[in-house]
């Protein structure tokens, strides 16, 4: 029995993923859930699990390939396993039958569209035989001179075209010249003039659109870097997808959200005592009672008390979207960069469960096993840098959230209580919020509420 392993649905709006590394070879014996490949999508890095045990028969992708959802990546020969699982096999065949008609309906359409694309490409090539040649030449050059060339490519988006005249395009000479000068392929510019004549404005509009599209990853800007090699040896490395996504998201957040930062300190002396006391007990159940877990729990309560902090802003429609669920994202520091897995319904789960879930999610994120949908849907985020240190910091609100809580390292401080200084464990908290929806007084109230809840968790019951 040959089983096809296809790229599964990863998350909403994610249609493709890139193969970072194929982890198996043809002939490898694999167990169910073994990783076949390391994948990277727009939203996350994850492993591609084997749905069945068996032997790898074919590998249809290679490192760097972009794979569409539903595309066959591997075939696995499950016959060796089948003898063991006769019953299961029958069931499988039945399932196969059920699935088949559906699959076949899908297939022709896909093939058709692929064929069509192929034809169009062919045609384009025929129309411009020179283009093909230049392309080849460029490729060769690139291969020859490696990094230098790729670097150049980033600076000039379209390589200067010295092979094809653009005389067949309905555009005046001045317009064709402008397009050349600013590196626009005039063949791609839609003309708005009479009988689709291309005007100067068309070229400008196209260039602007292209700039916007190109800069939309949030990482491209006009800043011209100096030549660092003047001062010493340098090394260039491609940005990982996660890095690019973070760069884009943070730039957009910082540019659109008017941030306000609020700082406070919570007296967590009692909470810490409680935590230490019950931590061991929890470890037996497979978790650890962490400060973060308790923070998630209390924050969930705070969000209930201050629903605006759990909301999103719909500026286009001038509406505030209140959410009747409490999903909280918790930032995890991984080798590849920052990931924010989301705890669903944090308000409905006991601290013990939150603790276990947090541990699992963090582990998955670090081992690249987290699936993109586990990183989506958060209403509020917590970033705890206390493990590393620091007295305070100002995290950036992650859209479409409206606030984020930053946690720094707690330390023993003398606190003046009832006429004397007492040693208290104080936890510095930072709250960043979107002033378009939350005012200063609310920000202060929210953070104070949280601090007081940590000092006396019983308060949350009122």
Applying CB under 8 A, the residues found at the interface with other proteins are 160-173, 176-177, 180-181, 183, 193-198
State in angstroms the smallest separation of the CB of 179 from other proteins: 9
> Cβ closer to other proteins: 8 or 172?
172
As a whole number of angstroms, the distance between CA 184 and CA 178 comes to: 8
State in angstroms the smallest separation of the CB of 189 from other proteins: 12
Burial status of residue 28 (CB atoms within 10 A of its CB: 0-12, 13-18, 19 or more): middle
State in angstroms the smallest separation of the CB of 145 from other proteins: 15
The neighbour count for residue 180, using CB atoms within 10 Å, is 16
> Cβ closer to other proteins: 162 or 255?
162
- Is 259 designated active site? no
> Cβ closer to other proteins: 137 or 236?
137
> Cβ closer to other proteins: 4 or 131?
131
Beta bridge pairs of residue 258: none
State in angstroms the smallest separation of the CB of 338 from other proteins: 41
- Cβ atoms 25, 45 nearer than 8 A: no
Maximum Cα–Cα distance across the chain: 90
- Cβ atoms 211, 183 nearer than 8 A: no
Query: Which residues, other chains included, contact 239 with Cβ-Cβ below 8 Å and sequence gap of 6+?
Result: 219, 247
Take residue 267 and report the two structure tokens written for it.
């007296």
State in angstroms the smallest separation of the CB of 180 from other proteins: 5
DSSP string, 24-43: --TT-EE-TT-EEEEEE-SS
Q: 156-164: long-range contacts at Cβ-Cβ below 8 A with a sequence spacing of 24 or more?
A: 156/183, 157/183, 157/210, 157/214, 158/183, 158/184, 158/185, 161/134, 161/185, 163/130, 163/131, 163/133, 163/134, 164/128, 164/130, 164/131, 164/134
As a whole number of angstroms, the distance between CA 373 and CA 312 comes to: 19
State in angstroms the smallest separation of the CB of 161 from other proteins: 7
- Cβ atoms 326, 346 nearer than 8 A: yes
> Cβ closer to other proteins: 55 or 134?
134
Take residue 152 and report the two structure tokens written for it.
């150049």
- Cβ atoms 381, 296 nearer than 8 A: no
> Cβ closer to other proteins: 168 or 283?
168
- Residues with active-site annotation: 435
């Amino acid at each position: 029995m040959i089983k096809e392993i296809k790229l599964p649905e990863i998350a909403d709006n994610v249609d493709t993923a890139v193969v970072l590394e194929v982890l198996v070879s043809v002939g490898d014996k694999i167990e169910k859930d073994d990783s076949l490949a390391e994948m990277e999508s727009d939203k996350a890095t994850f492993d591609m699990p084997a749905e069945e045990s068996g032997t790898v028969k074919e590998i249809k992708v290679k490192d760097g390939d972009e794979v569409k959802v539903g595309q066959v990546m591997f075939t696995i020969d499950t016959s060796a396993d089948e003898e063991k699982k006769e019953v299961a096999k029958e069931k499988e065949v039945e399932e196969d039958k059920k699935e088949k008609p559906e699959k076949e309906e899908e297939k022709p359409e896909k093939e058709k569209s692929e064929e069509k694309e192929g034809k169009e490409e062919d045609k384009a090539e025929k129309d411009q035989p020179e283009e093909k040649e230049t392309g080849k030449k460029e490729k060769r050059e690139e291969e020859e001179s490696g990094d230098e060339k790729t670097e150049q490519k980033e600076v000039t988006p379209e390589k200067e075209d010295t092979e094809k005249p653009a005389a067949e395009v309905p555009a005046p000479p001045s317009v064709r010249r402008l397009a050349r000068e600013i590196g626009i392929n005039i063949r791609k510019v839609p003309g708005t003039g009479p009988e689709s004549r291309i005007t100067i404005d068309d070229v400008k509009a196209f260039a602007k659109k292209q700039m916007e599209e190109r800069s939309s990853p949030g990482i491209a800007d006009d800043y011209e870097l100096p030549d660092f090699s003047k001062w010493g040896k340098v090394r260039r490395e491609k940005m990982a997808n996660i890095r690019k996504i973070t760069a884009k998201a943070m730039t957009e957040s910082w540019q659109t959200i008017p941030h306000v930062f609020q700082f406070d300190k919570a007296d967590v002396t009692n909470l810490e005592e409680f935590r230490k006391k019950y931590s061991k007990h929890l470890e037996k159940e497979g978790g650890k009672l962490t400060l973060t877990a308790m923070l998630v729990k209390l924050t969930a309560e705070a969000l209930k008390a201050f629903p605006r902090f759990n909301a999103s802003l719909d500026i286009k429609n001038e509406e505030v979207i209140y959410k009747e669920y409490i999903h909280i994202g918790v930032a995890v520091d991984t080798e590849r960069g920052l990931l924010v897995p989301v705890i669903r319904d944090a308000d409905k789960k006991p601290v013990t469960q939150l603790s276990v879930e947090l541990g699992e999610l963090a582990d998955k994120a670090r081992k690249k096993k987290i699936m993109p949908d586990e990183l989506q849907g958060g209403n509020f985020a917590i970033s705890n840098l206390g493990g590393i240190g620091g007295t305070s910091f100002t995290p950036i609100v992650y859209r479409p959230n409206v606030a984020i809580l930053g946690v720094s390292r707690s330390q023993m401080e003398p606190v003046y209580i009832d006429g004397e200084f007492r040693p208290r464990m104080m936890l510095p908290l930072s709250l960043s919020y979107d002033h378009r929806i939350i005012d200063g007084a609310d920000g202060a109230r929210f953070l104070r509420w949280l601090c007081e809840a940590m000092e006396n968790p019983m308060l949350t019951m009122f």
